[in-house]
Amino acid sequence: MSLVENLKEHSEELGNGVEKKRVSDLEARLTISIPKDFTEYLFELNYAEVFGDPIYGIHPDDEVLDLYSQNKNMEHFRYGFLEVFANDIDGVIYIRPDTGAVYNANFGRPIANSFTEFVEMLLSEGS
């Protein structure tokens, strides 16, 4: 099952996605390249709620959900980590844009090799 199909099947709420220009503008503003699978999420959904917690997207009118607001000028971002999700069980979750690997707040070893793998793990925790 694809990332988007998996999220559609397991999310309480979903967004409608954003156009490619908004994603490329975000990449330019943050001076990063967003990994392909997270870009697919942004294009197709841009918002998904998993077990009551949102996966961030491009939402300039809502700082809590906005990738730019959650990352620009933040210490984790200066060290190469893009915050994409947070909940009480898993804590804060980050993607390394250069590798696509997913980390938790201890920043030691990746907890998943990709955003897609992280979503699969997250959804299996709730099963």
CATH of the domain at 98: 3.40.1580.10
Mean pLDDT score, 68-96 = 93
- Residue 103: pLDDT band (50, 70, 90) is very high
Mean pLDDT score, 32-49 = 96
Q: Which is more confidently placed, 31 or 90?
A: 31
Range of the structural domain that residue 75 is part of = 3-125
Work out whether the CA dihedral 59, 31, 94, 123 comes out positive or negative.
positive
Mean pLDDT score, 44-65 = 94
Mean pLDDT score, 24-51 = 96
Distance of CA 105 to the CA centre of its chain: 14
For the full predicted model, state whether its pTM sits above 0.95: no
- 3-class secondary structure, 54: strand
Overall number of domains in the chain: 1
Distance CA 36, CA 77 (A): 19
